[in-house]
Copies of this chain bind each other. A is one copy, B any other.
Amino acid sequence: MVIVMKLGSKDTEVNEVAKILESLGLGIHISQGAERTIIGVIGDKRVLSDVPLELMSGVEKLVPIVESYKLAGKTFRPEPSIVDVSGVKIGGKELVIIAGPCAVESREQILEAARAVKKSGAHILRGGAYKPRTSPYAFQGLEAEGLKLLLEAKEETGLPIITEVTSEKAVEIAEPYVDMFQVGARNVQNFQLLREIGRSGKPVLFKRGASTTIDEWLNAAEYIMNEGNYNVVLCERGIRTFETATRNTLDLSAVPVVKNMSHLPIIVDPSHAAGKSIYVGPLSKAAVAAGADGLIIEVHPNPKCALSDAAQQLTPDSFDILCKDIAKIAEILGREFKNAQ
């Protein structure tokens, strides 16, 4: 960190700041510029997280030099991490496809979806049991009943399952059923939930919030990792911007940026970003070409009858065609998608 002193700050003010830093065991480096004095701070800045240096007399601002997260960063682990979800490895050579309906709606629906996505090469089955919806008058999920149906689909197809958890209680209930938790965009800074998932140790798909910077996202991942759970897979799903033609603006730059700043795997959710099924294909291919480690795609046996987010779910047939295209792009990128036929 660098502390920038105000124009015309006095030596006594500079010394005051220096004294505090030294008392906390930090090294300092004072540099007298043409206009301003700056103080470089050396050492572990975590001791400063609750010290309001910016309020000290003569201080203009603090400029961070290195990122504030540790465990999620490349400094902590320079090599890419691979997260193992009941045998499926995310972050390795194989491109991983998570697919399934937005919400579990019925036994028949989830089984049919599971068979279809398995046939096309998907590695993990998704299905929402707890659905956070903008309006309280919309379908909110089958809850515990949905988890049982997911498990049945797993038993039949052998696909590991993932579901979204939206509260500490849901973590407790879902834990025995699922292979991977999902934290949705709205809960990216629900720190109690993140700690609970951290304690569980189970792999987690951690979606970016609609208005979360990459830096804040990695700091939030730190809440999970700080509890000892390093099985975090990031998921870009679109950010909120002024553009209204799509539900969100998919930020595919986040893929190479995260690869540059973190060792964690990153996959992409084109369905929620686009909000319309006709855009899912192009964005899926783009995500793979940008270097994503996988995709999470909504597939419904009969989208027209879906109880939530109907407009963005693919039919099994379109999903099958998409998987074939994706496999070819993956190959050009030096990756594999062996499951696809």
Contacts and interface: CB of A to CB of B under 8 A. Distances in A.
A25 to B, nearest CB: 11
A85 interface: no
Given A42-B33, A52-B311, A169-B168, A191 B133 contact: yes
Interface in A80-120: none
B255 A252 contact: no
Contact of A54 (B244, B273, B310, B332): B310
Instruction: Quickly give the copy total for this chain.
Output: 4
Contact of A69 (B4, B36, B133, B135): B135
A22 interface: no
A271 interface: no
A244 B246 contact: no
A9 interface: no
B250 A245 contact: no
Interface string A207-250: 00111011110011011001000000000000111111110011
Contacts of A223: 136
A327 to B, nearest CB: 10
A278 interface: yes
Nearest to A43: B34
A189 interface: yes
A50 interface: yes
Looking at A75, A278, A282, the one whose CB has the most chain B CB atoms below 10 A away is: A282
Nearest to A213: B243
Interface residues of A, number: 107
B253 A2 contact: no
A290 B215 CA distance: 26
A187 to B, nearest CB: 7
Nearest to A260: B278
B168 A168 contact: yes
A192 B166 contact: yes
Contact of A136 (B222, B240, B244, B274): B222
A341 interface: no
Contacts of A261: 245
Given A36-B65, A136-B191, A283 B310 contact: no
Given A226-B136, A278-B260, A65 B49 contact: no
A139 B191 contact: no
11 contacts: A36-B65, A52-B304, A52-B310, A69-B135, A132-B191, A167-B168, A167-B192, A213-B243, A214-B245, A245-B254, A282-B291
